[in-house]
Structure 1
Amino acid sequence: MKNRIRKHLTRLAPELAAKTYGFLSDHNRISALVLEDRSYTLSRLETFILSLIEYIHTGDRVKVEKGAREIAIHRSKQGISLACVLERIRMCRDTLLDQMEQDAHYFIFTEEERLELYQIRLDLYQFVDSLIDMFIHIFETEESQREKEMQTGTATRERFSEVAEQELVQLVLQSTDIAVLIIDRNLRIVEANYSFAELQQVERQQIIGTHIDETFRPRENERFVQWVIERGQSGHYVAEINGTLTTVSTSPIYHRGELWGAISVLRNITDAKRYEEELTKREALAAVGQLAAGMAHEIRNPLTSIKGFIQLLREQTETLQNTSYFSVILTEIERIDGLLNDVLVLARYRDDKIAAERFLIMDEVLGVIRLLEPESNRRGIRLELNWSGDEWYIYGYRARIKQAVLNILKNAMEAIATKGSIVEVSVYASINQVVLTVEDDGPGLEDKVLKNLFVPFYTTKPDGTGLGLSTTQRIILDHGGEIFAENSLRLGGARFEVRLPISNG
C-alpha cells in the first residue's frame, strides 16, 4: 500500500504545494522574507512535501532529517521568523494528511489496510512533530550565535549583506528589465543590479558601498529612495533618468521590527508610454477617418446632382462658346469625385457594392500595363515586365488592387518625365507572398521625400493632391500586405516593392 501512496502523492506534489501556498497567502503567512517570490516558495514547499512522501514509503528518518536540518539552518541565517517556518511545515503536513484521507479509496482494499493507513498518518504526524522540535532547537542555537556576533559589533552589517546577497542575487539581480537598488539605514548602497547600473550609466562595482548622495545627486524633489530612511515615506513615482521615463517604487526593509534599509525597484516605461501615445494617435485618426467618410458622402450627394444638371444644361443650351466651359466644369467635378474616392479609401470605407473575392493578381497587373502602354509608347518610355508565367491568387477587392498598381506605375512614369526612359515591373512568389516590384531609371527619391512619401497630402508635384501613394499604402495594408519604397541600386531611380499574401483557397 505504501508504494501506491507514494506514486499517487508524488504525482500530486505540485498541486499540493500550490494548495499550501494558496492557504498561506490567504492568511498573510507567506511574506516573512522581503524578496521571496512565488516560484521560489512553491519549489521549497514541493521539495519538502516530496521528502515527507519518501519518508512514508521508506520510513528512513535520517535522510529527511538531514534535509530538514539544512533548511532550518539556511532559513535561520536568512532571518525568517521561526513561527513562519513552523507554519509552513505544519501546513505541508496537514495538506498531505488531508489528501491521504480524501483519496483513501485509492489505497484501501481491505480492513487491514484501513488500519495500516491510519497508522501511517499517525506516524507521519508524530514524525513532523519531531522535525518541529529539531527546527526550534536549531533556531535557538543560531539565535544564540547571532547574539554573540552582535556583541562584537559586526552582526548588523553581516546579516544585512547576507539577506541581500542570498535572496536578491538569486531572485532579482538576474533580471534584465527591472532595475533594483538597496541601501542601508545609513544611506549606503548595499546592492544594485546590472540593470540599475545600466540605467544610471555607471559601473556597478564602483557604486557598491558608497553613500547614495555621493554617487547620485537627484533633484531635491526626487530623493525617492532617501525619503524611505529620512522620512519613513515610501511610494510609487515617475521620473526621467538619463532621458529614460522610469517608474520608481520604494519600500522599507524591516528585520525583527527594526528598520534595516530601503529597496527601490525601477522599471523603464518609455516604450509603454510611446505605445500609449501611438494608441491615442490611432484612435484620433480613426475618429478623423470616420468624420472624413461622412463628409465625403455628404459632398458626393450634391456633387452628383450638380453633375447631372450641368450635363442637362449642356444638352439644352450647347453652343460653340459654352461647350468648353461645360467640359471644364465636368472635368473638375470628376476630379473632385476622384479625390473623394481616395478619402474614402484612406478612411477605410467599405462600399457594400464592392465585394471581396479570390482573384488572380496577374489579371490586374496585366490590365494596368495594357492600359498604360499607349501612353508609355507616346512618351518613349520602355515598359518592361519580368514574369515567369505562374499564377497566384490573392483575396480582397479586385478594383482596389488594380487602383494601387495603377498609382505606382503612373508615379514611376511621371517621375522619369525629365530623366530616364525605363519602367521595369517584376512579379514573383516568395514563400507565402506574391511580390511586385516597380523600378525606374529616373532621378530617384531624396531623403526628405522618402520620409514623407506615404503621408496624406504630401506631394512634390505642382498639380498633385498627395493622396495617391497614401491611398495605395492603405489599400495594401487593408489586404494584409506591405509596401516599401527606396532607391534602386540597379537602375538608379526609385524602387517600390509590394508584398501581398497568397490565397491558397
Structure 2
Amino acid sequence: MDTLRTKLFFIMLIIALAPLGVAGFISYQAQKSELTEQMEDTMVIFSDNAAVTLEDLIQERLSDTELLAANPVLSDETSDPEDIEQEFKNFQTTHEYYFGSIFTNPEGTIVASDYQHVNHSSTQSMDRRQWFEDVQEEGLILSDIFLSDIINQPVIVFAALVENSDGEVVGSVSNGYDMNAMQVHIANFQSQQEEFGYDGDVFLINEAGEYIVHPDPDQVFESGALEEISLASGELQEVSSSDELVYNREEEILTSLAKVSHMEGFDRDWYLGFSVPEDELYAPLQEMLFKYVLLFGVVTLLTVIAAAKLSRYIVRPVERLASATSDFAVGRKVFPLSSDSYEEVNNLTRTFNYMTQKLEERENAHKKSTTILETTDNGVLAFEHQTHHLTTINRKSRELFHIDAEANTKKTVEELMRKNHHFAAFISAVFPNDLMQLPEKPHFEISCTLSGEKRWFLVSVSALPLIENQQNQDILLVFNDITDKRQMENELLRAEKLKLIGQLAAGFAHEIRNPLATIHGFMQLMRRRGHESALTSEQKEVIVKEIDRVNGIVEELLNIARPESEEEVRAVSVQNLAHELDILYTDAFQEAGMKFNIEFPEDELYVEAHEKKLKQICVNVIHNAKEAMTSGGQLLLTVQRQASGEISLLFQDTGEGMDEETKELAGTPFFTTKERGTGLGMMICHHLLEGMNGSMNVKSEQGKGTTIIIHLPEASNELDVHKS
C-alpha cells in the first residue's frame, strides 16, 4: 500500500550513521589520549636528555680548566710570562672553543694572557670581576654569562685557582668560553628534533629568566623568557622537576623545561627549554582526526545520496504545502494544489485547499472592514468591558489624542489615561462616573478641552455582541468631532447678535441723541447763568454725569453700527506704539501703586493695522487690567514675533483673574463685572481686530491674573511705514 508509513521504513537507514559516529568518536578519543601522552612524554624526554648532554659539556670544560691550572709552568712562580702564554697557545690549539686564557696573581693583576689586546705588560686588574671573587672562594667556578669588555662578545668564564707544589695559591687561570660553541651544541639538539617533525626552539635560561643561549642571538641577555613561556619566576624549579608542559595560551606554544644539575664548580640554576608550537606538536593528532573525518564523510555522503532520493519523494508534497502556507501567510495569492501524491498527503492537500479558500474570503472581509475603519473621519475606540483592555483604536482617534500606533492595543484604558491627558479628558467626559457604567443614552454630545482648546463631539456608545469563544464583551465608542460645526454656529450666532445690536444701536442713537444733546445744553446753560432751580447744584452735577454716561453708551453703540473708517491699513511701528503707551500710563500706574513694564525685541517690528484703532484697543485692554488690579500689581506688555508670520502683543496683569464662566462670557455685549461698566469694550476690540485681520485670545486663572494676547499680521515691505 502506497502510504507514508511504508516510506518511513526506508528513512530508518539514516539511523545507521549514529552507531558509526559513536564508534568513531570513542575510537578517536582513545587514540587521541594515547597519542597526546606519547608526544608530550617525548618532549619531556628530549629536554631531559639535552640537559644531561649539557651537563657533560660543562663538566668537560671544567675539567679542561682544572687541567690547565695544574700545568707546571703556571704553578712555577719563577716562570716567565712568555712561557705561560706559550702554554696558553698550546692549550688553545687543542681547545678551539675558547676565546683565550688569562693568568692573574692572587691580587688580580694580569700576569699572562693570549688575548690579542691583553698581555703581561698590561696593568689591567681582574680583582673587580665577579668571577675572580667567586674563584677565590670556590677554587673552581663557571661564571654567569656577561658581555666581555675585552672581546666585546657574550662570554662565560671557566676559572680555577693555581697552586704551587707546597699547596699555596700563586694565582688563578680563567678561560673565556665562546658562546657560539654552546649555541652550535644546542642547535644540534634542535636539528635532531626537526628530524622527528618537531620544528621548535631549544634555549637555555637562568633563574632570573634571562636567555643564556637562544636561536636568535639578539635575545641573549633579554629577560622576557618567563613571559614568553607564560611562567612565573617561582615556578621554574617546580615545573622543571615535574613532567608537565607549560602552555602559553596567547602564543599557543608548549614548552618542556629541564634543570641543569649542579656539580663541582657549577652551582648555578640553569634551565634548558624546548618550545614547540601546539599545532606542530599535535600535527599527528590532526592527521588522525582528518582520516576519521574523511572516512565518516565518505560514509555520510553515500548515505545522504541514498536517503535524498527517497526523502525527495516523501517530502516534496509536504514542502509544496509548506511553501503554499508561507505564501498565504504573507498575503500572496495561492492557487489550489493538486492531489497527486500518496493518500495521507492527498487528504491533507484537499483540506488545505478548502481552508485557504475560507480564510481568503474571511481575510478579504477583514481587510475591507479595516480599510473602512482606518479611512473614516469618525473616531472609533473599543475596549473589553471587564478588563478595560483596549482592542481597537483607529487612525482618527490616534491623531486626535496623539497616541502611538504601536501601543494602541497594549494598555488598559486607565493606563493610557494616566499617560495621555487628551485621552483622559475625552474618556472622563464620556464616562463621568465609571467605565463599568454605560451612559443612559446611546447617542449624546460632549465637550472637553484638548490642547487648551474646547472641542465638541457627538458620541455613540454600544456593547458589541459576543463572538464565538469570546469571554469578555467589548464596548464600542464611535464619535465625530463637531467642533468646527459648533464654532461656526457660535460665530454665526455672534454675527447675528452683532448685526442685531448694530441695528438696535443705530435706531436707539437716532431717537435719543438729539434730545440728550438738548438736555445737556440746557443743563450747562443753567449752570453758567446760575439760574434758580428746584435742583441743587450737586443734583445738577449728577444729572450731567449721568447724561455723559448715557452719551458714552450711545457712542460705543454707534462705533459698532458705524461703517468702516476710511483709514487705510498701514505698517505701524510696534516700538513707537509701545513708547506712546509707556508715556501715557507709566506715571498713572505709579500713582496708583502699580507698575507698567514693556519688553520687546531689539529689531524694529511693524504690523498691518489702523493706527488709531490699534491704539484704542490697547488703551481699552490697559484700562481693564488697571481696574482688575485693585490691590496693586504689575502689567507687563511683551512683544513677540511668531514663526507663523504674526506679531503678538501680550498684556499680562497680576489682577484678580477670571473664572471659567466669566472668561467664556468675556466679549459678550452688555456683560460686565464692573460696577459702572457698559459691557461693550471687549466686544468693540474684537470687532476692530476683525477689520484688521487680527484676533484676540484671553487666558485667565482666578486669583493669578489675566493675559490678553493680540495677534496681528506682520507688515510687508509694500506698505507705507507709519512711525508717528
TM-score range, shorter-chain basis?
Answer: 0.3 to 0.5
By percentage of residues, which structure has more helix? Answer: 1
Task: Tell me which of the two structures has the higher relative contact order, counting C-alpha pairs closer than 8 angstroms and 6 or more residues apart.
Answer: 1
Q: Which has the larger radius of gyration?
A: 2
State the TM-score, normalizing by the size of structure 2: 0.34
